[in-house]
A and B are shown apart, each in its own frame.
Chain A
Amino acid sequence: MEGRLARIFIRLGSVITLAFLYVPLFVVAIYAFSKSRSGSWPPQLFTLHWFSVAWQDPTLRGAIGTSIVAAVCATSIALVLGTLASFAVHKFRFFGRDTVSFILVLPIALPGIVTALALSSAVQQASGSTGLTFGLVAIILGHATFCVVVVFNNVVARLRRTPGSWVEASMDLGGDGPMTFRRVTLPNLRTALIAAALLAFGLSFDEIVVTKYLAGSTLTLPLWIYNNISKPFQRPIVNVVSLVVLLVSLIPVYIAQRLTGSAQGLAAESTERAIDEAGPG
């Protein structure tokens, strides 16, 4: 259907784009094995020394732990709030229904610096009366706020594809609310929830723009990287950490792809992530 010339151009363009996407990742990978401390080119290979140094760095392990805790908490909150809201929006036509979707999207639709500024001045104002201060709790609150829409979008999309007759049938057969939820609704939502949870987790784990404003003295992994990327002696460790995180995150992406079962599904889920990243990215 496409002309010969067009096909050649398209293939060539695709190769260029893919190369563009992966060359910097190779650079990161190479530097993880570089002997020299400074980041100048070319790197002197080859050593595994920095992997052991990274493993022994006490602040690094704490930062990874904090990131995991924050991501788990934020994802859990987002799962609950997002699912509840999606049920409300799906079933009811109430005044301001569109407004609700809009409000949920705002934290990620607005540029990240705006969200960061808003949340951090809120913490500053609230610190006097509520004792809330910059730290892990503030981070979790901030992350949950923009993770909610990830869950919301995924669940609403799944609910739209679910025939409402199933719930009615279940009720006709004598199931009450909780039983219908457990036996009919939840299994249907399960893969959407897992995919959403993975996306929300990844979003929270990699977040730096808003976290930088909320963290106080707490270190998450991106903040650890930010602090250490400007310390020349620590840079090789940062490269090691990035390589490991990249390799480890192959797993959830692969799982997400299998769960959604198709390329289209993965594209849809990743478009969700893209929408979410459009804010605090």
Chain B
Amino acid sequence: MAASTATVPPPKRSLGLRSSAFLFRHPRVRLTFTLGPTLAWMIVIYLFSLAVLLVSSLWSVNPLTSQIEHVWTLSNYQTILHNAVYRTITIRTVMLAVAVTITDLLLAFPLSYYAARMASDRVRNALLFAVVMPLWANYLVKVFAWKTMVAGNGPVDAFFGLFGWHPDIATSLIAVWITLSYLWLPYVILPIFAAFERVPSSYLEASGDLGARSGRTFRKIVLPLVFPGLIAASIFSFSLTLGDYITVELISKSILLGNTIDAYAGGTANDQPLAAALATIPIAIMAVYLLIARALGAFEAL
């Protein structure tokens, strides 16, 4: 190969090259271009809305027109604190969220374990597909399916009627509990499945080699390892239950946080500042829950 004696002209400074060189030398400009639009969007559209919402909780409402008036007042928060019913509602909602979370964790456990550790690859893929599919059915339709099933003379009633028991749960909190557990179950299964997958088989073999039987291995090795995953999964079912209003409104007469806020904001009552003040309750609860979850290591398990 003959050595080239001609000088190679420098590469053409195309616009693309010039602009990328400029951006390379000015990282701040690059940062502005990449981060700017998204951050601007989020600030203008979301954070601003959130701020306006929180501010409006300090305003009052005209008793006749129910229009918001820019009159500063703490009366909304006073109403919440002094009126016992809001405490009752909050406690009821939190207890429902806990019940739904525990139910989902129990239901998710066997299936996640089986899919992660006992199933063949093909079966595992099929199971995951089966778990994800119900998420694509419309939310309202799933709620209404349960409403039909638990109604008087419905299939649930008929099923228990075989044992001579008519539970009459049609519009009760129990029906809401069942429906919400059903709706969030796939969201709970997936992180637990991921957590079980991450347990290295070598640990289990080592534990067996050291003489522990399966129960002990499970309690001492597996459970602590998957615990962050359980907490991570619980975040979904807890948060989703805390704010849900559509299922509650469709199924029962129970008054929970979500539909109280919805009633005051958009529906059957009309007091937007009070709704905004009430909305701080689930925000505060979730903030606490997330802090606890982070301390327990759940965020690494997401």
Residues of A participating in the B interface, judged by any CB pair closer than 8 Å: 1-3, 6-7, 9-14, 16-18, 20-25, 27-28, 31, 39-42, 80-82, 84-85, 87-89, 91-92, 94, 100, 103-104, 106-107, 109-115, 117-122, 125, 141, 144-145, 148, 174, 176-180, 202, 206, 208-209, 212-213, 221-222, 225-226, 229, 238-239, 242, 245-246, 249-250, 252-254, 257, 263-264, 266-268, 270-271, 273-275, 277-279, 281
Q: Which residues of A contact B16 (CB under 8 A)?
A: 176-179
The answer to whether A121 and B52 touch across the interface, beta carbons within 8 angstroms, is yes
The answer for the CA separation of A250 and B182 in the assembled complex, in Å, is: 20
The answer to whether B141 and A242 touch across the interface, beta carbons within 8 angstroms, is yes
**Contact (A28, B139) CB under 8 Å given A18-B111, A122-B49:** no
Partner of A122, one of B45, B135, B155: B45
Interface residues of B in 200-231 (CB under 8 A from A): 204-205, 208, 213-215, 217-218
The answer to whether A106 and B46 touch across the interface, beta carbons within 8 angstroms, is yes
**Contact (A267, B193) CB under 8 Å given A17-B110, A40-B153:** yes
**Contact (A21, B130) CB under 8 Å given A10-B110, A118-B49, A177-B16:** yes
**Contact (A84, B38) CB under 8 Å given A41-B148, A92-B27, A118-B49:** yes
Residues of B participating in the A interface, judged by any CB pair closer than 8 Å: 11, 14, 16-17, 19-21, 23-24, 27, 30-31, 33-35, 37-39, 41-43, 45-50, 52-53, 56, 107-111, 113-115, 118, 121, 124-125, 127-142, 144-146, 148-149, 151, 153-155, 158, 182, 185-187, 189-191, 193-194, 197, 204-205, 208, 213-215, 217-218, 235-236, 239-240, 242-246, 250, 258, 261-262, 265-266, 272, 275-276, 279, 282-283, 286, 290, 302
**Contact (A229, B41) CB under 8 Å given A20-B185, A257-B125:** no
Q: Which residues of B contact A144 (CB under 8 A)?
A: 41
**What is the CB-to-nearest-CB distance from A199 to chain B, in angstroms, rounded to a whole number?**
10
The answer to whether B111 and A17 touch across the interface, beta carbons within 8 angstroms, is yes
The answer for the CA separation of A141 and B302 in the assembled complex, in Å, is: 27
**What is the CB-to-nearest-CB distance from A139 to chain B, in angstroms, rounded to a whole number?**
13
The answer for the CA separation of A247 and B288 in the assembled complex, in Å, is: 40
Q: Which residues of B contact A263 (CB under 8 A)?
A: 121, 124-125, 128
Q: Which residues of B contact A174 (CB under 8 A)?
A: 11
Q: Which residues of B contact A41 (CB under 8 A)?
A: 148-149, 151, 153-155, 158
**What is the CB-to-nearest-CB distance from A123 to chain B, in angstroms, rounded to a whole number?**
8
Q: Which residues of B contact A110 (CB under 8 A)?
A: 243, 282-283, 286
